[in-house]
Chain A
Amino acid sequence: MTDLLVHCDHVGRTYGRGERAVVALHDVTCAVRATDRIALTGPSGSGKSTLLQLMAGLDRSTSGTVTWPTWDGSPFGHPERAGVVFQEASLIPSLSAAENAAFPLLVQGVAADEARERAGDALDLLGVGAVASHEPDELSGGQAQRVAIARALATRPALLLADEPTGKLDSATGAHVVDLLLHACAEVGAGLVVATHDHAVARRMDRTWAIHDGELVTP
């Protein structure tokens, strides 16, 4: 169990209260290990993003517990060991590609020079080193998504959580991004969970979890 990265134990997440309450996740139990390459599939609104947010420590469950056994807990808002790639590229628009990639490191208190170097390495790894000085609106969709992945990898996360990383990309670019994700995770030794409704992407993963109406069907 030493390589267990995150463990969800009967986790539930409900938004709103009373009659307007919406159950996004219900009684989900699952675990991710360092060698896992998991595709999380399901229709829109099934709870994929919610589960990823809980695993990343960006949200709190309303029932059950989420734990990160291999590192010293994960205070809410400080997913120091979990890198997140969002549905859209989600780059900070007022920072260059390099500055975007270095941002999480600086937040963690890494020295500026080291942060710059590690961000550069991550960008090179994702093949976007040449556009390091470009601003987000000067990048193509694929480039922006690769910069976002580089940003997630620059912190050398133990776990990479990607929410529809290819959702807005054409199939060729999407396939290339998946290649890069798998390659990068292998390079840094990170576990990978990709939320997707694209079967082509799901097939590239080792395992597939299906989620329907907030319930995980095949853990």
Chain B
Amino acid sequence: MTWRWLAGLARKRPVRLLATAAGVAIAVSLLAALGGFVVGSEQTMTDRVAAGVAVDWQVAVAPRHDPAQVVDALRADPRTTAAVRVGFADAPGLHARSGGTVQDTGAARVLGLPPTYRATFPQAVRVLVGNTDGPVVAQQTAANLHVTPGDTITIRRAGRPPYQVRITGVVELPQADSLFQRIGAPPQSQPVAPPDNVVLLPTARFDAVYAGTPVSTQIHVARDHAALPHSPDAAFTEETGAANNLEVRTSGAAVVGNNLGAALDAAREDAGYARILFLFLAVPGAVLAAGLTGAVAQAGAERRRNEQALLRARGAAPGRLVRLALLEAGLVGLVGVLVGLAVAWVTGATPVLSWDVAAATVGVGVAALVVAAPAVRDVRALAADQAARSRSRSRPAWMRYGLDLLLIAAGLVIVRVSGQNKYTLVLAPEGVPTVSVSYWAFLGPTLAWAGAGLLCWRVADGILTRGRRLVTAAARPSLGALAPTGASMLRRRRRVIARSTVLLALAIAYACSTATFNSTYRQQAEVDAQLTNGADVTVTEPVGADVPPSYADRLGQVAGVRSVEPMLHRFAYVGNDLQDLYGIDPTGITRATHLQDSYFQQATATQALAGLQARPDGILVSAETVNDFQLSPGDLVRLRIQDARTHRYVTVPFHYVGIVNEFPTAPKDSFIVANADYVAARTHSDAVGTFLIDTGGRDITGVADRVSAVVGTDGSVGTLLQARGLVGSSLTSVDLSRLTRLELAFALLLAMAAGGLVLGLGLAERQRGIALITSLGASVRQTRRLAATEPVYVLVVGTVIGLAAGWALASLTVTVLTGVFDPPPTSLAVPWTYLAVVVVGAAASVLAGTVLVTRRARARARDLLRGT
């Protein structure tokens, strides 16, 4: 009988079975796909972080210890792929004679590198001119000594005669900070900046020159990145453990400068945010999918009860009915899980066994909850007292006690209180293996989601209960004299209608909040990239260069350049605090870059620039500076800035006109923005620090290449695209676009399913009613319009409430996830096109479902009226 029953279900109720399985599949695929996203993101983060590290470990060999012993210990670890010896020596100074001038520098660092070093650590040394076959100098050193390849420099030695080398190239050391770190010293004892003067010698030459002289030795190590765990957290723990293990095994002979571990340490916070994004964005969708599945199953509850009663009447024991219900749930769960996992894989999510198992478990759970549990409950009710089943007509308790409003209020209070405490969602203390995620932050949005769902129910129910005149008036243009009848139908079916409205509203709210959050996220990532690079293309002049603003005219002639704005860059003392000072033309800066209102405090961008324009000696300073020096608008501020003629710091008076939080190319901490003309006049130099170039967002790379050809080695050219890569090294640009596509597709699917499927199945239950209407003389048009009253109500009310709730929840999510944004958004970015697609999609599915069911009901009127 069991198999016959299942076969009968598949034959007679295929739509309901498939719809229920589809709901389970959506929940499963959403969880599996987004779980895959988290793992994929973490893997990408780990890969990118690891790939960005030039030298994974710098192992300092303690004095009087044999470097070979340390190398052996390193090579004993299978995860070590290369270990090379690097010598470090100090030189009191460098000397060069070129072009009839003599140049001397201060202290220098001399390194001895093996010939294979560049091949082993390609990111550590970048050749700018010449080659690395012989001695080379760093770019800054070459500028200080005015030397080029082929020139000879003299390296001084303490207590020994100087020696000369002919340089074969000029190089850049992109990760000079870590290269010259003080290994084993705490962060506060690390050098403020890398040395200005650096000479790289081949090992043989280095050993010859410094034979018998105390030098320090490091072993530079490359690690096997492919063997790292996918999560930055786990990778950090493993790398830290391996470094500690080496130090223990070498009994103090080696101290590890763990560059790879430090980079992974920094990425752990982003991994925490990835997990949070998953919780914020995937869980509501999965819950919604479960709710949808429940609604689909519920739509057939009456029929199921009748079938159960019939089976009982024909002698089926309650146990058998329970087994049949469980079997149906199992079938639905199995199909849903298989389809869901297949969809997740098709979407390109990284298949992760643990996530897939978890998603499958949730799917089976949903099936059991929405299919088996109600059926089992009904079986018991049937056995106890069939007549006892009666519908409650009173308002639910939660509505009477205002639970919805309480939940929303509590959610808002929690978010507000949390925000006031300046809490951090994800905290990864440096060097500590554990990442702390503030799950408390989820409580506010969770309560708000639950409250919004119930409030939606209250509104949908309230309009039908108390707004009969309104509903009648709204229906009159379509139904005419039947409008009061239509309103009555809606009122009596308000429970079912409210449920459908809530589902549609929540689906649209989910789509709206997810899309709005994602758009805002993308907008801010773009703003961050703009902030980092300054403009589409920037030309940064080296320190000490004297390029006048008129050079902008030359850059302006490059094909593809729309406008160029020069920006001065100096350093100024505010009291004892050395800050970056940017000199701009307030009337022209926005021609080359975008300034957001959020960059400024207590003023819009336009107002802040107008303030500068109105006062030539005006300055914008950071809020911290205003606070430290208790400044009020118009206050005199004396800065000490280096005079270009005397190279001495002179006091220059300015007047405080506003607060600036962020500015293109400026650092995250305190800085100053002033009028370029005033700064140039008072420092006797109009040398430009950076040229901001606007390309209108088109052909940025091409324009940058052409600009590079013009600039040559006199400046470095950066692009917005490179900045995107930098700011997105963690979370921003890696996988979010894929996550976004995934979420938006699911949100659209949920909205359409909520709209069409639930209503369609609800209408299927009403087929007999529609057939009755037909048989009582209603025309095709009257029947269709009466049948459409309910879907149209659900669509209109659900869409309006859903969009409103979605916007509110997006605001809440953005508020809670402020830590993800840098800088925080001025306003939400609303993806109107996508929302229009969602609403149109939901409307189309609702109307399609209505038309299909109505047509079927009319065609089968005769059978339906006979109860067959």
CA distance A143 to B782 in the complex (A): 28
Is A186 among interface residues, defined by CB-CB distance under 8 A?
A: no
Is A142 among interface residues, defined by CB-CB distance under 8 A?
A: no
Is B204 among interface residues, defined by CB-CB distance under 8 A?
A: no
Given contacts A95-B489, A106-B481, contact A77 B779 (CB under 8 A): yes
Is A188 among interface residues, defined by CB-CB distance under 8 A?
A: no
Is A96 among interface residues, defined by CB-CB distance under 8 A?
A: yes
Given contacts A78-B777, A95-B492, contact A107 B782 (CB under 8 A): yes
Is B395 among interface residues, defined by CB-CB distance under 8 A?
A: no
What per-residue 1/0 map shows which CB atoms of A84-96 lie under 8 Å from chain B? 1011101111111
Interfacial residues of chain B within 832-868, with CB under 8 A of chain A in the complex: 861-862, 865-867
Smallest CB gap from A103: residue in B: B776
Given contacts A94-B769, A109-B481, contact A151 B488 (CB under 8 A): no
CA distance A135 to B779 in the complex (A): 24
Is B775 among interface residues, defined by CB-CB distance under 8 A?
A: yes
Is B485 among interface residues, defined by CB-CB distance under 8 A?
A: yes
Closest CB of chain B to A74's CB: distance in Å? Answer: 10
Contact of A80 with B867 in the complex, beta carbons under 8 Å: no
B867 contact set on A, CB distance < 8 A: 87-88
A59 contact set on B, CB distance < 8 A: 862
Is B493 among interface residues, defined by CB-CB distance under 8 A?
A: yes
Give the residue of B484, B490, B776 whose beta carbon is less than 8 angstroms from that of A104: B776
Closest CB of chain B to A23's CB: distance in Å? Answer: 16
B775 contact set on A, CB distance < 8 A: 56, 58, 84, 86
B492 contact set on A, CB distance < 8 A: 93-95, 135
Contact of A79 with B484 in the complex, beta carbons under 8 Å: no
Contact of B769 with A104 in the complex, beta carbons under 8 Å: no
Is A145 among interface residues, defined by CB-CB distance under 8 A?
A: no
A110 contact set on B, CB distance < 8 A: 481
Is A171 among interface residues, defined by CB-CB distance under 8 A?
A: no
Smallest CB gap from B858: residue in A: A77
CA distance A211 to B867 in the complex (A): 21
What per-residue 1/0 map shows which CB atoms of B489-514 lie under 8 Å from chain A? 11011000000000000000000000
CA distance A96 to B488 in the complex (A): 8
Contact of A92 with B481 in the complex, beta carbons under 8 Å: no
B581 contact set on A, CB distance < 8 A: none
Contact of A107 with B778 in the complex, beta carbons under 8 Å: yes
Most buried by B among A92, A99, A108: A92
Contact of A103 with B485 in the complex, beta carbons under 8 Å: yes
A84 contact set on B, CB distance < 8 A: 775-776
Is A53 among interface residues, defined by CB-CB distance under 8 A?
A: yes
How many chain A residues touch B (CB < 8 A): the figure is 35
Is B811 among interface residues, defined by CB-CB distance under 8 A?
A: no
Give the residue of A53, A92, A111 whose beta carbon is less than 8 angstroms from that of B773: A92
Closest CB of chain B to A112's CB: distance in Å? Answer: 6
Contact of A80 with B777 in the complex, beta carbons under 8 Å: yes
Give the residue of A107, A111, A135 whose beta carbon is less than 8 angstroms from that of B776: A107
Is A46 among interface residues, defined by CB-CB distance under 8 A?
A: no
Closest CB of chain B to A68's CB: distance in Å? Answer: 14
Give the residue of B391, B489, B866 whose beta carbon is less than 8 angstroms from that of A94: B489
Is B140 among interface residues, defined by CB-CB distance under 8 A?
A: no
Give the residue of B489, B493, B777 whose beta carbon is less than 8 angstroms from that of A77: B777
A102 contact set on B, CB distance < 8 A: 485
Contact of A107 with B865 in the complex, beta carbons under 8 Å: no
CA distance A56 to B776 in the complex (A): 10
How many chain B residues touch A (CB < 8 A): the figure is 26
Given contacts A78-B779, A94-B769, contact A99 B488 (CB under 8 A): yes
Is B6 among interface residues, defined by CB-CB distance under 8 A?
A: no
Is B62 among interface residues, defined by CB-CB distance under 8 A?
A: no
Contact of B772 with A49 in the complex, beta carbons under 8 Å: no
CA distance A50 to B710 in the complex (A): 92
B488 contact set on A, CB distance < 8 A: 94-96, 99
Smallest CB gap from B391: residue in A: A137
CA distance A56 to B769 in the complex (A): 18
Give the residue of B484, B493, B782 whose beta carbon is less than 8 angstroms from that of A112: B484
Smallest CB gap from A49: residue in B: B866
CA distance A135 to B865 in the complex (A): 19
What per-residue 1/0 map shows which CB atoms of A30-56 lie under 8 Å from chain B? 000000000000000000010001001
B772 contact set on A, CB distance < 8 A: 90-92
Closest CB of chain A to B636's CB: distance in Å? Answer: 78
Smallest CB gap from A87: residue in B: B866
Is B745 among interface residues, defined by CB-CB distance under 8 A?
A: no
B782 contact set on A, CB distance < 8 A: 107
Closest CB of chain A to B426's CB: distance in Å? Answer: 52
Contact of A77 with B481 in the complex, beta carbons under 8 Å: no
CA distance A110 to B484 in the complex (A): 14
Is B413 among interface residues, defined by CB-CB distance under 8 A?
A: no
Is B774 among interface residues, defined by CB-CB distance under 8 A?
A: yes
Give the residue of B482, B776, B779 whose beta carbon is less than 8 angstroms from that of A151: B776
Is B51 among interface residues, defined by CB-CB distance under 8 A?
A: no
Is B248 among interface residues, defined by CB-CB distance under 8 A?
A: no
A103 contact set on B, CB distance < 8 A: 485, 773, 776
Is B15 among interface residues, defined by CB-CB distance under 8 A?
A: no
B778 contact set on A, CB distance < 8 A: 107
CA distance A161 to B115 in the complex (A): 106
Is B709 among interface residues, defined by CB-CB distance under 8 A?
A: no
Contact of B777 with A107 in the complex, beta carbons under 8 Å: yes
Closest CB of chain B to A107's CB: distance in Å? Answer: 5
What per-residue 1/0 map shows which CB atoms of B770-790 lie under 8 Å from chain A? 001111111110100000000
A58 contact set on B, CB distance < 8 A: 775, 861-862, 865
CA distance A91 to B391 in the complex (A): 18
CA distance A81 to B775 in the complex (A): 13
Interfacial residues of chain B within 732-790, with CB under 8 A of chain A in the complex: 769, 772-780, 782
CA distance A90 to B861 in the complex (A): 12
Most buried by B among A49, A94, A109: A94
Given contacts A78-B779, A107-B778, A107-B782, contact A95 B485 (CB under 8 A): yes
CA distance A90 to B862 in the complex (A): 12
A87 contact set on B, CB distance < 8 A: 865-867
CA distance A96 to B491 in the complex (A): 11
CA distance A135 to B777 in the complex (A): 21
Smallest CB gap from B494: residue in A: A94
B776 contact set on A, CB distance < 8 A: 84, 103-104, 107, 151
Smallest CB gap from A53: residue in B: B862
CA distance A107 to B486 in the complex (A): 12
A151 contact set on B, CB distance < 8 A: 776
CA distance A111 to B490 in the complex (A): 21
Closest CB of chain A to B177's CB: distance in Å? Answer: 74
Contact of B481 with A111 in the complex, beta carbons under 8 Å: yes
CA distance A87 to B865 in the complex (A): 8
B484 contact set on A, CB distance < 8 A: 112
CA distance A87 to B775 in the complex (A): 13
Closest CB of chain B to A134's CB: distance in Å? Answer: 12
Smallest CB gap from B773: residue in A: A92
CA distance A108 to B773 in the complex (A): 12
The 7 A-B residue pairs whose C-beta atoms are closest, nearest first, are A94-B489, A94-B492, A104-B776, A107-B778, A107-B777, A94-B493, A104-B777
Q: Mind listing 20 A-B residue pairs with CB under 8 Å?
A: A49-B866, A53-B862, A58-B862, A79-B777, A80-B777, A87-B865, A87-B867, A91-B772, A92-B772, A94-B489, A94-B493, A102-B485, A104-B776, A106-B481, A106-B482, A106-B485, A107-B482, A107-B773, A110-B481, A151-B776
Additional pairs, 9, CB under 8 Å, beyond known A77-B780, A92-B489: A56-B775, A58-B861, A58-B865, A59-B862, A77-B774, A80-B777, A93-B492, A94-B769, A103-B776
